[in-house]
Amino acid sequence: MKLVTVDRLQPGMVVAKTVFGADRQVLLASGMVVKPQFISQLRRRGVPSVYIVDERFPDIETADVVSAETRVEAMAAAKEVLSEVKDRAKSGLGKLTGTEARKVKDQVNNIIDELIQNRELVVNLTDIRAADDYTFGHSVNVCILSLMTAIGLGYEPQRLRELGIGAILHDVGKTQIPEEILNKPGVLSAGEFEEVKKHPTYGFEIVRRQDGLSSLSAHVAYQHHERSNGEGYPRGLIGTEIHEFARITAVADVYDALVADRVYRRGFLPADALDIIAGNAGRFFDPKVAKAFGDNIAPYPVGSLVQMSTKEVAVVVKVRRAYPRHPILRVIKDGRGHPVGEPYDLDLTQHRDVRIARAIDERGPVDPRDVKQLL
């Protein structure tokens, strides 16, 4: 399995992972042979990348922390709820109905159940999203990543539910912001950014006015852009003035934004995004939270290419939770860049003198200037 950009997708390739839209429709099914019209359809929908079958590694498979069915249902629910709130915003501040609150609760409960069952897994896959569905996929991913972090911190079920609801609704306040600002591909002007900075306050008001939702969930929406050093917004809170739920969601929010492929920019590789999070622990992020978060992410996901300290090139075969930076690799090129006659597996836990020097990004370069805007 290999992640390729739609620009590099070729007729005859075989899809390895189904691409879904946020309203449950299948855009491209696993096992389908790519045809020119499929590529055109993906471009129209703004799908940036697709997983395809790589015949060199037919035995490489990986499990997601949450099933495709649960993820798709959660995305559909997020789309339905946020779209309804956005429609109501035309006549004033949008609000949630009791039915919508129950729908969100049901999806969060389903996610929690699967995460607890799969707690030995780490995040290994990139979630593929169409451009129009980015917001809904982001909401679900931030919920999943926040809950995984909280499980690692020992949260009990009630706190998980309150956090999960806040995390999946963390950006509900953006339903009140003009779309031309939210979807602007370039750097926002000072005035536009001031408008965006209102969304946590809007989100707090929307969530807290629904009787069936906890005020702690509302504070996730309110505080997820606060930063430990006081440089966040809307109130410039410092350290533990920020509720831990929001400190968790802040890390998940930034990470998912960093790794997401967008039509106008490449996403960062997981290893690079994790380095950015770790490098800002203590400045922007709670160090304890950043550490618990990083424990749930494979820096070198299964199927990705890496270069070792020996200059050899390998594909990641297996990642174990206890040794995320020491995966099992399959060596495919020698130190001079020549294909090896017979690829062989190398367990880095058994070869501590060998390390991964860098991840290889076949999708193209990223712009480091994106980091400042995403933090």
Domain annotation for the chain: domains and CATH numbers: 2-52 (3.90.105.10), 68-297 (1.10.3210.10), 305-360 (no CATH)
What is the Cα 151 distance to its own chain's centre? 17
Q: How many helices (H) and strands (E) does the chain have?
A: 13, 9
Return the pLDDT at 2.
76
Check if 35 is active-site: no
d(CA 252, CA 20): 22
pTM of the model: 0.91
**What pLDDT, on a 0 to 100 scale, did the predictor assign at position 119?**
87
Residue whose pair of structure tokens reads 């915003």 in the numeric block: 89
Helix (H, G, I), strand (E, B) or coil at 274: helix
Q: Averaged in consecutive runs of 10 residues, what is the pLDDT profile of the chain (375 residues)?
A: 82 90 84 93 84 80 86 94 89 83 97 94 79 87 97 96 98 93 84 95 94 94 98 97 98 94 80 95 97 94 92 93 92 94 93 93 70 76
Catalytic residue among 174, 184, 197, 372: 174
CA dist 110 → 67, 99, 147, 150 (Å): 10, 17, 12, 16
Can you tell me the distance from the alpha carbon of 184 to that of 180, in angstroms, rounded to the nearest whole number?
6
pLDDT of 263: 65
d(CA 270, CA 260): 10
Strand-strand pairing, 313-318 and 305-308? antiparallel
Angle between helices 98-117 and 157-168 (to 10 degrees): 120
The full length of the chain comes to 375
For residue 352, give every residue at least 6 positions away whose Cβ sits within 8 Å of its Cβ, in sequence order, or none: 326
Q: What is the DSSP letter of 299?
A: S
Contacts of 220 (CB under 8 A, 6+ apart): 163, 166, 167, 169, 170, 243, 245, 246, 249
